Structure 1
Amino acid sequence: MAKESGVLLQVDKMKTVFQTQSGYIEAVNGISFHIKKGETVAIVGESGSGKSVSAMSILRLLEKSGKVSSGRILFKDINLNELSDEEIRKVRGKEIAMIFQDPMSCLDPVYTIGDQIIEAIKIHEDLPKKEYYSRAVELLQLVGLPDAKARMSIYPHQLSGGQRQRVMIAIALACRPNLIIADEPTTALDVTVQAQIMELLKKLQTELGTAIILVTHDLGVVAEMADRVVVVYAGQVVEESNVIDLFNKPEHPYTEALLQSVPRIETNKNERLMAIKGSVPSLYDMPTGCRFHPRCPYASEICRQEEPPLMNLGENHYSKCWIKEKDIKKVMQNVNHNEQEDIEIIDSPHFGKHQNKKILEVHGLKKYFPITKGFFSRTVGYVRAVDGLSFDIHEGETLGLVGESGCGKSTSGRLITSLLKPTGGSVTFNGQDISRINRHALKKVRQRIQFVFQDPYSTLNPRMTVGDIIGEPLEVHRLVKGTEKYARIVELLETVGLTRNDIQKFPHQFSGGQRQRIGIARALATEPDLLICDEAVSALDVSVQAQILNLLRDLQQKLGLSYLFISHDLNVVKYISHRVCVMYLGEIVEIADSEVLFQNPLHPYSQALISAVPIPDPEGKSERIILEGEVPSPSNPPSGCKFHTRCLIATDTCQTQQPDLKEVSPGHKVACHNY
């Protein structure tokens, strides 16, 4: 690709390799792209595709075993790959800055926020002492952190996730760089905080003219932020285009499949999500020909034998595929048709609208954690994590539980399984109050209620084989023995799409999606009636997420399972849930059928959450409600309606009187004085 005028950064045929015991392996293979001043270019693809390695290669932030082996990285016509270590350090922070995914792991916990911002300025600029301080305060104000002067003297752990990300952006902007590389800057954030960060980046880009390279797998964020998109797969660029053409007319089958994997608010719940079979190939065993052909449903012989060039399709649209546009559209229609014929997903036959019996009833559930002080641990207050929760779940139903981080979603799941002892209220499962039963009876109940956690890798024992992991609950509950146990493990693996060949493998030998399947198989071992899925798909790529969501729907239809689905991804919640509860500061503020809630949210908080969902459509911009301020502390919640401090329509009544959760129409309840 020829260099265009106004180009700030040109990456040309960059190859990045890592030294291993068996020699060098290529993580990035000949990637080329460019970015102009004031432009946003998104780099998208699954985990392991080479997105982050490409970004790190630009600034030479690779591990010691990694290096850019060939190609050029031209920044203002200077090849960054030829600079010495001292010279590249002068570029980092001053000319090109980086925003990382997890701000807590990047901010030093023993230094104040102010010290860390000032340090970033001192490295590149020699200013009077007072000016360092005033510049740091100015930066905190620029990124929208309230009471900036007071925040200068606090530590990272005293800030929320959204505030820490703002501090990272302030550090990145410290020396007014020309280019910011943002590596998954919003992935771990709630939709409301994510909306704030995206608005902030767009505002700063307009004011300062900064170019942004956005590394992400969130296609909603891409549609909203990007001018152009670079799609990478197995270390190569497979498609590049402006954002509108890419979303409206994707030319590469991988891009098409990624876009169809994403559940949207308007997605028909009766349709299966498009799932890409298999996973990104290992760096040690790259396929011949087109690297995507083992997963491509319509690969031809030429795809298996010859690697396609990156073809110029006109209007700066490039695709690395042998198949022509008209052939892609025709084959994609056939693939989708065959997928639908394979297993047709309909709403679970086990669940009719509130006709089935209630399997779980939660009433007035509370959990207060004591705040202690002094040598004798004197109680000086309480954190009201869950404060009077009431809902029910029917047989074969999926109930979604949504809200910002810290609202009490995960704590609620642990209270239901008695992993935490409630402060008050009751949890009734199949007619039995499990909050007041003895240990022996609780063990039997836990056989019927199982947990699927967010991070399967941290919950699977790395020293145990898959067979031992899945077989453990069978032994604990004495369900099967001997040859029956082996047969049951094989059956469970096949139920979640794995095989008997996986029994002797260890967790590290699987991809993220496969590990989540193992976690689900383990949860199904005891033949439960209720699964509590706590952010079960939030850490997964969109393609793997689609596989797991399809699997959960299949299992519900086959086994009649009930789910409590805890998530902050509202697109996913809308797709999989029959009803949805919206939580704020330990309380339910609205509950309704999924379709009703997303079409007609009544509570101002629900309206703000839904409006903040990024839409994977660059032309489908919606009016966003930006919530001001942070979530109040559950140790000192506001009086009256807990949401009134952030509500745009709050009245005097809201400040003094707590609203009841009232039914405003059949099955639709809301806790708001306006109804």
Structure 2
Amino acid sequence: MSKETTALLHVDEMKTVFKTRLGPLEAVNGVSFHISKGETVAIVGESGSGKSVSALSIMRLLENSGKVSSGKVLYNDVNLNELSDEEIRKIRGKEIAMIFQDPMTCLDPVYTIGDQIIEAVKIHEDLSKKEYYERALQLLRLVGLPDAEERMTSYPHQLSGGQRQRVMIAIALACRPNLLIADEPTTALDVTVQAQIMELLKKLQAEFGTAIFLVTHDLGVVAEMADRVVVVYAGQVVEQADVYTLFSKPEHPYTEALLKSIPRIETKKSEQLLAIKGSVPSLNDMPSGCRFHPRCPYAANICESKEPPMFKIGEQRFSKCWLKDENMAKEMLLTVQQKEEEEAVETPSNERKIGDVLLEVKELKKHFPITKGIFSKTVGHVRAVDGVSFTIYEGETLGLVGESGCGKSTAGRLITGLLKPTDGVVTFSGQDIKRANRQTMKKLRQRMQFVFQDPYSSLNPRMTVMDILGEPLEVHGIAKGKEKRERIVELLETVGLSRNDIQKFPHQFSGGQRQRIGIARALATDPDLLICDEAVSALDVSVQAQILNLLKDLQQKMGISYLFISHDLNVVKYISDRVSVMYLGEIVEVAEAETLFHKPLHPYSQALISAVPVPNPEKKPERIILKGEVPSPSNPPSGCKFHTRCAKALDICRQKKPILKEVLPGHTVSCHLY
């Protein structure tokens, strides 16, 4: 790939090596790309592909054990690898800045927001005290932080996730850099905040002409933000193209598989997502030949023995695949045709029978007391869940969506009895949970199980898979001895793992495999209801597809019901039969998934759905950007809780609380507009 003369940054055959006890390991192997002034280039791939390491290598922010061993990183024709530590510090922050993935771990908890922005400016510019303050204030206003003057004296813990991310962007922009490296800047954010951050980055780019290097695995964000895309796999670039070409006609099998593994709003519930078999290879056990061949449907003999070159297939278009070799393409396409014929099986029917009411929740409330003083006097309450009502039928999936802090996870914990409700009734299979004695509650909990967001923190690192899955079997007296082992093997095979995994520990599995173990543990008691709390939010799109397909298969075979809690609306639309939308502790709309996503009635639902990133660069959604922040649940607004952010608010909305009522068959909404 020839160097672009107009390139602001040109990375040429960069190799990054880490020293380990096993010897040197190459995390990045010969990565090449360029970024021009004012351009956005996205780098995509699964976890472990080398995206973040590439970004940190450019910034020279690798830990002591890592270094760029060969290749060039040219910024304005200056090789950053040849600069001294003092010289690179003059460029870092001033010329090239970085937005990190988790703002809470990057912001200092003991310094105010204002001090941290001023510190970033002080390193590179000599200004008066007043000028430092004015610059910091101007930056906070620029990134759209409300009450900028007040926020100057706030600490990181006093801000929401979206506000902290805005502060990180303000720090990165403090010296108006020419290049901004954004490492997963929207991953942990709600769709509404994510939309705000993307709009902000585009606005700042237009204003300052800043180039952006976007590190992400969210292909919806890539479609909306990027001009060009670099696809990496196992430390190597496998494809490069402009965003329109890449999404319309991917050339590398890995890119094609990534695009087919994403659930989209138009994807029907009956469709299976493409799940890429296997996982990204370990750095100390790279396959020979093409690194993707163990997972590739097109793999031929040459792929196993010989690494493909980077084929140029158009202007700034490259693909590292033997399919681009005319002599090899016929053999490889014949191979995939033979595999498809061998693996062809009759597709099972996706029709499921929705049965009677399994779970009924009426006016459920959870108010956490706010205490002050030496005697812990109650001075108020946080209304986390404030009168929630919904039903789940046998064999049905109910999606529960809303922004962070709206009470979704708290509602899930109240249903299972992990939290004690302040008020309301939860009836499971005709049994009032509040009136159940200890023995009855144990039996009910056996039939209701939780799948947590982070499988690593919910699995005991000191226990083997045998112990993790055996524990619920023993606690509920389901199986012991030889019968227990047989049941554990059966559970592992049900979730797509092997009997050989039975003596392994959690750290020996990938993220997707750990989530499968979490699901296997939940299935151990043969439950009727699974509560999945952000069960796929931390996973790559390929692993996410595997888990979603697994959940649907289990529902098909076992008739399980799901309460699926998530802020990823593409996933919720794909897996749910009905969807409940929650705002500030209350349900504001309930409808069939198809109905809700194509004709939402509540202004909040409309804003949420409009904010969903669309993985198609040719479609530019019309966003409804919500003004302001979510009000505090300890001091919610009077009347309709959403009126402070609603563009359609009427006078009655400020005074009278709307009632959740059916306005169309099967479609209920809590809004004065109807």
TM-score after normalising by structure 1: 0.98
**Measured at CA, do residues 325 and 404 of structure 1 come closer, stay the same or move farther in structure 2, by a change above 3 Å?**
farther
CA distance in 2, matches of 1:486, 1:119: 59
- The equivalent of 2:300 in structure 1 is 300
- The equivalent of 1:350 in structure 2 is 353
CA distance in 2, matches of 1:203, 1:563: 40
CA distance in 1, matches of 2:167, 2:341: 49
- The equivalent of 2:166 in structure 1 is 166
- 1:227-626 mapped onto 2 (5 Å cutoff): 227-324=227-324, 341-342=344-345, 344=347, 346-351=349-354, 356-626=355-625
**Measured at CA, do residues 341 and 454 of structure 1 come closer, stay the same or move farther in structure 2, by a change above 3 Å?**
farther
Contact 1:264 1:571 (8 Å CA) reproduced = yes
1:579: how far off? 0.2
**Measured at CA, do residues 338 and 111 of structure 1 come closer, stay the same or move farther in structure 2, by a change above 3 Å?**
farther
CA distance in 2, matches of 1:347, 1:375: 60
What amino acid is the match of 2:484? K
1:88: how far off? 1.1
What amino acid is the match of 2:581? V
What amino acid is the match of 2:412? G
CA distance in 2, matches of 1:343, 1:124: 65
**Measured at CA, do residues 338 and 105 of structure 1 come closer, stay the same or move farther in structure 2, by a change above 3 Å?**
farther
CA distance in 2, matches of 1:422, 1:516: 28
Query: 5-14 or 360-369, which moves further after superposition?
Result: 5-14
- 1:162-201 mapped onto 2 (5 Å cutoff): 162-201=162-201
SS at match of 2:9: strand
CA distance in 2, matches of 1:188, 1:331: 42
CA distance in 2, matches of 1:244, 1:420: 48
What amino acid is the match of 2:252? H
1:497: how far off? 0.3
SS at match of 1:124: coil
**Structure 1 residues without counterparts, runs of 5 or longer:** none
CA distance in 1, matches of 2:208, 2:384: 41
CA distance in 2, matches of 1:625, 1:334: 45
1:429: how far off? 0.3
CA distance in 2, matches of 1:476, 1:325: 59
Contact 2:297 2:336 (8 Å CA) reproduced = no
CA distance in 1, matches of 2:645, 2:365: 24
Query: 56-65 or 214-223, which moves further after superposition?
Result: 56-65
1:333: how far off? 9.0
SS at match of 1:313: strand
Per-residue deviation, residues 85-131 of structure 1 (Å, max 9, x unmatched):
11111111001000011100100000000000000000111101110
1:665: how far off? 1.3
Contact 2:388 2:586 (8 Å CA) reproduced = yes
SS at match of 2:658: coil
1:149: how far off? 0.8
Identity across matched positions, percent: 77
**Measured at CA, do residues 620 and 51 of structure 1 come closer, stay the same or move farther in structure 2, by a change above 3 Å?**
same
What amino acid is the match of 2:234? A
TM-score after normalising by structure 2: 0.98
What amino acid is the match of 2:284? Y
1:339: how far off? 11
CA distance in 2, matches of 1:45, 1:332: 25
- The equivalent of 1:655 in structure 2 is 654
SS at match of 2:293: coil
CA distance in 1, matches of 2:349, 2:577: 12
- 1:65-76 mapped onto 2 (5 Å cutoff): 65-76=65-76
Query: 541-550 or 267-276, which moves further after superposition?
Result: 267-276
Instruction: Give yes or no for the alignment of 1:79 onto 2:43.
Output: no
Contact 2:95 2:178 (8 Å CA) reproduced = yes
CA distance in 2, matches of 1:305, 1:672: 63
Contact 1:592 1:667 (8 Å CA) reproduced = yes
1:439: how far off? 2.1
SS at match of 1:94: coil
CA distance in 1, matches of 2:347, 2:85: 57
Query: 289-298 or 433-442, which moves further after superposition?
Result: 433-442
- 1:55-204 mapped onto 2 (5 Å cutoff): 55-204=55-204
- The equivalent of 1:19 in structure 2 is 19
Contact 1:271 1:346 (8 Å CA) reproduced = no
What amino acid is the match of 1:87? E
CA distance in 1, matches of 2:117, 2:96: 16
CA distance in 2, matches of 1:286, 1:336: 24
Contact 1:58 1:73 (8 Å CA) reproduced = yes
Count of residues paired in the alignment = 671
- The equivalent of 1:48 in structure 2 is 48
1:337: how far off? 6.9
CA distance in 2, matches of 1:219, 1:626: 21
CA distance in 2, matches of 1:577, 1:598: 11
Contact 1:348 1:556 (8 Å CA) reproduced = no
1:84: how far off? 1.1
1:145: how far off? 0.6
What amino acid is the match of 1:93? G
**Measured at CA, do residues 459 and 22 of structure 1 come closer, stay the same or move farther in structure 2, by a change above 3 Å?**
same
**Structure 2 residues without counterparts, runs of 5 or longer:** none
Contact 1:239 1:255 (8 Å CA) reproduced = yes
1:359: how far off? 0.5
Contact 1:272 1:345 (8 Å CA) reproduced = no
Per-residue deviation, residues 32-88 of structure 1 (Å, max 9, x unmatched):
001000000000000000000000000111111111111100001111111111111
**Measured at CA, do residues 367 and 334 of structure 1 come closer, stay the same or move farther in structure 2, by a change above 3 Å?**
farther
What's the C-alpha RMSD, in Å, of the aligned pairs?
A: 1.6
CA distance in 1, matches of 2:580, 2:349: 22
CA distance in 2, matches of 1:528, 1:227: 47
Per-residue deviation, residues 375-419 of structure 1 (Å, max 9, x unmatched):
111000000000000000000000000000000000000000010
Contact 1:271 1:344 (8 Å CA) reproduced = no
